[in-house]
Chain A
């Protein structure tokens, strides 16, 4: 019992310490990070908006679009895969999950080369925000499919047949029975998709065009010239945004139940 408690304590420290240290650093009243600091200040936080406001907006917009698009793709895909189980559908399920297993940086290079090729063949422009959205949908959709399928694992398909026998047309069955059964999975999927997209650096390294800088790229660029507590403040702000989203969503669904 004592050993388990010790392990739990070590786990908590390993996970919690970086967060606490980041929070601590963001309060340093120093131009360069030195220890011990001269004093403490909250002034780094107001500096976030002028320095990172644009990228924050770009990342938020990008993640929002990626969430919506991957839900529109992933939820119907999960329903289809759940209903028609065959060798083909397991192959499709594996294919849909493939982007997760691919190294991000290699994937983004491939997408970049592909999009440039497309741009040469057509007159359309993809590299930039459009390309970023498409690339992010590619890496968020597997999460959506996975989580939605998981939420259907314990679903009794007889409920859908019952609804049909009571007079519900196929589309009504999905709206009134299938989607409500997937509710927890869809919420968790939206959250995961948002975090995966908001956090992603590799895609933006290749696909960002001038004027389209995401938050991770902006942080990286900033770090090339400055090592000051502002970056820590941005990190804390990002944690707070995602943490708030988690709290709000947890009120609707017990996320732990879905992810298991």
Chain B
């Protein structure tokens, strides 16, 4: 097995005409880590992957593998295993010949190729289907062939381009688990690209959230979920209600005129936006101490959770989600019911006009807030 490699992207940019698909991207991946590039379509994640693979040259910056620049190397000499969104199997070759392709390119002895191919197929549990053609396999099986083919060459880096997006939900979870275990087993440095945050959270050691060609935030799942660097990350990872307004001490005056009584105290002022996750908000009967009041528009029972859409007095709507079962189960409010919204200081994120987080001075109202919502 080849040694795991470290990958460094050093201020890599890629321009298409006037458009910067990737701008000044820097990233360091230690050996054996699985990093997921996450973002909406057009954010530059696939362009980045294609630059690492050698299908695109960066217009600026450097990409180094184990400290050595790989930019002079054409794709066929970079020794990277790639799993494509479409699997990209060779339709005229059998499963075994697909897996053997990379080994044949390396001019290995025939007996070695056969032995290694058989081993890879056992690894992905497809040894019974070695003689089949790709079109005779299901989506999940084709995906496994693609993975085996990529791993067979003992690549220095594994690149996964939306590997799960063509699979149905049940298969996706199973495949995600398998990829994770294989990757950890072989200790292979991996870069994966996806637009699906749940998929990213499930697979990643570390996530890199991208938007408009720029890295928004990079970190572990907890970092992104609990300490989003800007409103975009707050809403993209896990989903957040975003409310824009003007910060005035401990109140956020919304554009429509109404004000939210914030849980924390802030010394700053000026335009700001507030991010609160749907599961952080608790609903109660209308009362004076509420952060803000509103009227239930829609109540949906989803089994494990209950979801309310609440139209605030200020006009905009927020999503509120609570557990549907157990002792802490959310009570259901009918559409048209007036409710009070509560959350604690630890659960609100404030961002200034430049989208940078605003820190609270003191956060002492947590206890009061918690009390109110259990009433």
Contact = CB atoms under 8 A, between A and B. Distances in A.
B347 to A, nearest CB: 43
A183 B146 CA distance: 23
B86 A167 contact: no
Contact of B88 (A162, A169, A183): A162
Given A165-B53, A166-B102, A166-B105, A159 B89 contact: yes
B153 interface: yes
Contacts of A162: 82, 84, 88-90, 146, 149
B54 to A, nearest CB: 8
A181 B91 contact: yes
B39 interface: no
Q: How large is the interface on B (under 10, 10 to 19, 20 to 34, 35 or more residues)?
A: 20 to 34
B196 interface: no
Interface string B100-139: 0110011000000000000000000000000000000000
B205 interface: no
Interface in A152-173: 156, 158-159, 161-170, 172-173
A221 to B, nearest CB: 47
B84 A161 contact: yes
A255 interface: no
B153 A166 contact: yes
A167 B105 contact: yes
A166 B152 CA distance: 9
A180 B90 CA distance: 9
A158 B76 contact: no
Most interface-central of A164, A167, A177, A183 (chain B CB within 10 A): A167
A156 B92 CA distance: 13
Interface in B61-111: 74-82, 84-86, 88-92, 101-102, 105-106
A158 B83 CA distance: 10
Contacts of A170: 76
B301 interface: no
B55 interface: yes
B88 A156 contact: yes
Most interface-central of A168, A172, A181 (chain B CB within 10 A): A168
A176 B98 CA distance: 11
A167 B106 contact: yes
B161 to A, nearest CB: 8
Contacts of A173: 76
A207 to B, nearest CB: 40
Contact of B82 (A161, A168, A177): A161
A41 B156 CA distance: 76
B179 to A, nearest CB: 17
B105 A172 contact: yes
Contacts of B106: 167
A84 to B, nearest CB: 14
B73 to A, nearest CB: 11
Contacts of B89: 159, 162
A163 B81 contact: no
Contacts of A183: 92
B88 A158 contact: yes
Nearest to B107: A167
A165 B92 contact: no
Given A168-B76, A169-B76, A161 B105 contact: no
Nearest to A177: B90
Nearest to B81: A165
B144 to A, nearest CB: 15
Contacts of B84: 158, 161-162
A48 B79 CA distance: 63
14 contacts: A156-B88, A158-B84, A158-B85, A158-B86, A159-B89, A161-B84, A162-B149, A163-B101, A165-B53, A165-B54, A165-B150, A166-B76, A170-B76, A176-B90
Given A166-B81, A167-B153, 12 more contacts: A159-B90, A162-B146, A165-B75, A166-B101, A166-B105, A166-B149, A167-B76, A168-B76, A172-B105, A173-B76, A176-B101, A180-B90
Interface of B: 53-55, 74-82, 84-86, 88-92, 101-102, 105-106, 146, 149-150, 153, 159
Interface of A: 156, 158-159, 161-170, 172-173, 176-177, 180-181, 183
